[in-house]
Amino acid sequence: MKKIAISVGDLNGIGIQLILENHEEIKKYIEPIYCIDEVMLQEASKLLGLPIPSDFQTVNRVAKRFTIEPSKVTKEAGVYSFASFLKAVELSKQQEVDGIMTLPIHKKAWEMAGVSFKGHTDALREFFFAPAIMMLGCPKMYVALYTEHIPLSQVVKEVQNVEKLSIFLIDFYENIEDKLEKDETIGLLGVNPHAGDDGVLGNEEQYIVKAREIAHKTIGKEVYTLPLVPDVAFTPKSRKQHHHFVAMYHDQGLAPLKALYFDEGINISLNLPIVRTSVDHGTAFDIAYRGVKLNNLSYINAIKYFTT
């Protein structure tokens, strides 16, 4: 059974409730090590009215103790959530765990804490000096993002970078090769409406085709489709043919994914020396510490990914 370090996210949010409510369930799949110290764990447990399991593995000296303020964005919570994440990364680098799973942080709290990174993926790229690939989804459909958090006006320039796109396609395939079904092809999306309509609505697809050709020469076989028309790429028929897709920009891939599988989707960082998964939702300050039973599908799926 794999040993997984779990960073607790923003303690003013729902992450710690997910942890306490689902400890018995996730033990079926992994051996969890929670990156929280006993003092903060006891404070959260008391506020939530949830018991701490007797076999709950924690770590020492995460960060300075602070007072949990449910549903509030605070510098102290940002400091602790970043420190919890750093502890999980440290355990991974020391090969004490087989992977890390991260619960939701609040980006503004990180900023208030003086953290320069916008999120976990950005930080992991720097920590491991590797071009991490962001893939989101669930066993029914996974979507990798070629560009992530950039303005739409910059996407075309990135698509026209054939070398960068071809490297991305090669790296992505190599990271998921063992998870593809026999003869499964990866759905490669165009960027223009109707995938350009042979240049009538834009010619950026020619760069995607060139990058695809370069990638296939390196891989040694054809694994990507020709650029798919984006508005029909995720139809039921298409999803029967493809379980993995590459979107050219953030909303192109995530809007259909979240419309179809919002509750069960997860975030996976690929192309790193470690495997990192995360829930695909935020801190949910609107329901944190209010006695609401949480939907655990995303959390459980993020844990199960280590067993596939």
Residues 249-301 pLDDT 10s: 999 999 999 999 989 999 999 999 999 999 989 999 999 999 998 999 999 99
**DSSP strand pairing (99-102 vs 276-279):** parallel
Beta bridge partners, 99, equal 4
pTM: 0.90
For 293, other C-beta atoms within 10 Å of its C-beta total 8
Beta strands in the chain (DSSP E): 3-7, 31-35, 99-102, 133-138, 141-145, 187-188, 244-247, 266-270, 276-279
Direct distance between the N- and C-terminal alpha carbons of the chain, in angstroms, rounded to an integer: 12
Is 118 a residue whose pLDDT tops 90?
Answer: no
Dihedral (CA of 50, 81, 261, 174) sign:
negative
State the helix-helix crossing angle for 162-176 and 205-219, rounded to 10 degrees. Answer: 50
Confidence of residue 92 (pLDDT cuts 50, 70, 90): very high
Q: Which of 97, 96, 192, 180 is nearest to 135 (CA)?
A: 180
Q: Which of 204, 209, 264, 255 is nearest to 233 (CA)?
A: 255
For 129, other C-beta atoms within 10 Å of its C-beta total 8
Q: What's residue 201's pLDDT?
A: 86
Confidence of residue 181 (pLDDT cuts 50, 70, 90): confident
Residue in the block written with tokens 């989804």 = 137
Give the chain's domains with CATH numbers.
Answer: 1-131+273-308 (3.40.718.10), 133-271 (3.40.718.10)
233 within 8 A of 187, measured Cβ to Cβ: yes
Q: What's residue 66's pLDDT?
A: 96
Q: What's residue 95's pLDDT?
A: 95
Quote the mean pLDDT of the chain.
95
pLDDT digits (tens, 9 = 90+) for 182-233: 889 999 999 999 988 888 888 999 999 999 999 999 999 999 999 999 999 9
Q: Which uninterrupted H or E stretch holds 123?
A: helix 120-128
Burial 55-80 (b: 16+ CB within 10 A, else e): ebebbeebbeebebebeebbebbbbb
34 within 8 A of 57, measured Cβ to Cβ: yes
Q: What's residue 305's pLDDT?
A: 94
Residue type, 267: N
